[in-house]
Each structure stands twice: as structure tokens, then as C-alpha cells.
Amino acid sequence: MTDTPQRESDRGQRTSSAIRGGSGVGRAACFAFVLVAISEGPGVVAKEEVAAPSVGSPAAIAAVPTSKVPAAGSAVPRNEPGPGQLSSKFAIDYWDPEKSVPSAKDRDNNPLEFGYFLQDLLEKAERARKDNDFQALIRFYRAVAKAVPDNAKGWSKLCEAYEFVKDRDRAIRACKYAIERPAVEVQDYVRYVNLVLSKDGALSPAEVADLKAVFEHLEKQGPSTVFLANSLRCQTAVRVKDVAALEACTKEMSRLAPDDAKTVVFQWSLALEKGQRAEAERLIDRAVKAGVLLENIQRMQKVTSSIGSRGQKIAKGAVVVCALALALAAALAIRRRGMTRGMTQRLAR
């Protein structure tokens, strides 16, 4: 396809707009992919990996179909770049965008066009999100992850997409790849931990060990992530009924942020585990001052009232379910506020 002056003008305007963050593709996403695409050397996507991915490899996830391709005759163009695409060289098959990912040779010979291609994928994914077309969203982010497998961003977005459709196992695998790669962000760790903890039934020793490794890694990233690491550690301790671990992490959280809502909630959970009704009631008062939602305060009061006046422990299951639900709710609230507190910062691997 030959570029027209209008096409070149549109391409330049959209590229500039995307970099400024004015389009559906924000500045961070644009730079994360375009700079990686241009700067990475040969071999980012090995032909052998694409042709015969090993079980559990990034390419293996990309090879798993999520929806059937409609019969021939679809109105969506499949063989050449559409009028809305930035790339004039790499067409995107709407129904199977993974097949559109250029080979390593074509990518390296056309780095700028590859950057445009990635922007096209991201914009189509954003459009799918706005349309609540989550199967299309998954298709486009699988293609992004396949195109730039050594960068966390594509895997992070793929994990998020799988989470939307409640495909926990694939979401966990995608998030796992994200946290093992450059450009990982704090939110990737939070999502990964929450997905693992959402498992029905007990966690396996391997899952617990993997989570501990995540917490230890976060603690090494600097002061800004130590509190997060301990809050996730406490969340896990409540989930697996590890009172000793819960005591240790609440102590550290109290040292770092004694009035934080999550600190108070986990201290309350610890008091329940120990059958300390008076302490639990005192912590509910602190939870009110810390800004815990009224509905959660009422749940805390209901559970606390079930402890006998002599301090008998309540049923373990009730404590775990309620405390974990509160912790998750607090985590979501803090994640929303965290955008202004550096919660989406990039971390070193």
C-alpha cells in the first residue's frame, strides 16, 4: 500500500498525540513499547519459540485460542493496513492479530514501522476495552505480549484482560511473566498476589513460597515499597491462618504507618485470632478514625461481638473470610489512592 500525503499527515499527528498522551494510547504505554521495539536487538522473538512454544512459555500462552474466528466474508479487512492504522507495512488481522506480529527480521529491518504497529495494537485494544469486548481485548494484548515478550507491559495488560473475564489461571501466568520482566510496576505485584490468594481452597506450599519471594523482592526495592510488601504479607498470613506471620507483619506496618487503615484492619484481625475482644473493639474505634467504610465497620463489629466475654476465639473460618474480605477491600481503596502516591512506579528486576 502506498502512503498518501493525507495518510502521512494523519500518521504524524496521531503519533505526536499518542506520545503526548492525548489518544487512547498513553505516553507511558507508547514509550514502553516503541522504545523497546527500536532499541532491542535481534532475537526478542525467536522463530523456534513462535513455531513450537514449550509448555508454560510466554509463546504457549499466546498460542491458546480464546475465541473462534468468524467465517470468511467478515467486513473487517485482513490483508492490508486499514485506513486508521499508523503502520503502512504491518497489517493487523482483527480476528487473529497474533498472526500479524512481524518476524524478528522484519521487525529489526523496520523499527519505526514496528513501533507504529505496536501503537495500532494498543489503540485497537483500548477501543475494545471501551466497547466491553473483552475477547478482542485479550486477542490484541496477546499479540502485544508476543511482539515484545521481554517487556512487562504487554504481559501486565494481558493479565488484566484475563482477570476481566475471570480466567484466573491464565491471568496468573501472564502476571507471573510481567513481574519477571523489565518495566514491571507495583500494581503488577499487587494483582499477582490477589490472584493467587483468590484460589478456592488451601494454597499449596509452592504457592506460599512463591508469594514470600515476591514480598522479599518488593522489600528490596526501597522504602516506598516496604509497607506494601508487609501489607501483602499480612493479607497472605490471614489467608493461610499464620498467626506468627500476621503478628510480624502488623508490627512492621505499625512502625511504618500506624494510622493507615490497612494497618488497623490487620491489627484487628490479629486480635481476633488471639481472642482479644477488648483489643478488637478498641481497634474498631481506630478503624473509624482511619476512614474504613461504614459497611466494613459494621462487619467488624458483628464479627467482634461473636467473641465471648471471656475471650474465647470465634470460629476460624468466620475470622478468615471476614478479615480477608476487609483486607482486599482496603487494598483496592489504597490502590486507587496510590496513583498519587507512587504506587504505579516502575521497579527494578
CA distance 87 to 72: 24
What is the extent of the structural domain holding 334?
Answer: 207-340
How many other CB atoms are found less than 10 A from the CB of residue 130?
10
User: What is the distance between the terminal CA atoms of the chain, rounded to a whole angstrom?
Assistant: 41
At 106 the pLDDT is 85
Residue 174 shares a structural domain with residue 295 = no
Residue 35 shares a structural domain with residue 106 = yes
Q: Which of 123, 158, 125 is nearest to 25 (CA)?
A: 123
Does residue 73 form part of some domain?
Answer: no
Does residue 70 form part of some domain?
Answer: no
Residue 135 shares a structural domain with residue 250 = no
Residue 187 sits in a domain whose CATH number is: 1.25.40
Does residue 348 form part of some domain?
Answer: no
For 42, the grid coordinates are: 535481534
Q: Which of 163, 197, 231 is the last residue of a domain?
A: 197
Does residue 174 form part of some domain?
Answer: yes
At 109 the pLDDT is 87
Does residue 346 form part of some domain?
Answer: no
Q: Which of 146, 163, 197 is the last residue of a domain?
A: 197
CA distance 206 to 80: 47
Residue 244 shares a structural domain with residue 288 = yes
Residue 180 shares a structural domain with residue 251 = no
At 309 the pLDDT is 56
Residue 179 shares a structural domain with residue 34 = yes
Residue 163 shares a structural domain with residue 216 = no
246 backbone dihedrals φ, ψ, rounded to 5° = -65, -40
Does residue 251 form part of some domain?
Answer: yes
| Burial of residue 60 (number of CB atoms within 10 Å: 0-12, 13-18, 19+) | middle
Residue 17 shares a structural domain with residue 160 = yes
Is 185 in a helix, a strand, or coil?
A: strand
At 193 the pLDDT is 96
Residue 242 shares a structural domain with residue 175 = no
| String of DSSP letters for 13-63 | HHHHHHHHT-SSS-HHHHHHHHHHHHH--TTSS-HHHHHSPPTTSHHHHHT
Spell out, as residue ranges, where the chain has pLDDT lower than 70.
Answer: 1-84, 308-349
Residue 233 shares a structural domain with residue 110 = no
CA distance 284 to 196: 28
Q: Which of 162, 197, 232 is the last residue of a domain?
A: 197
Residue 192 shares a structural domain with residue 219 = no
Residue 273 shares a structural domain with residue 301 = yes
Does residue 46 form part of some domain?
Answer: yes
Does residue 151 form part of some domain?
Answer: yes
Total domains in the chain come to 2
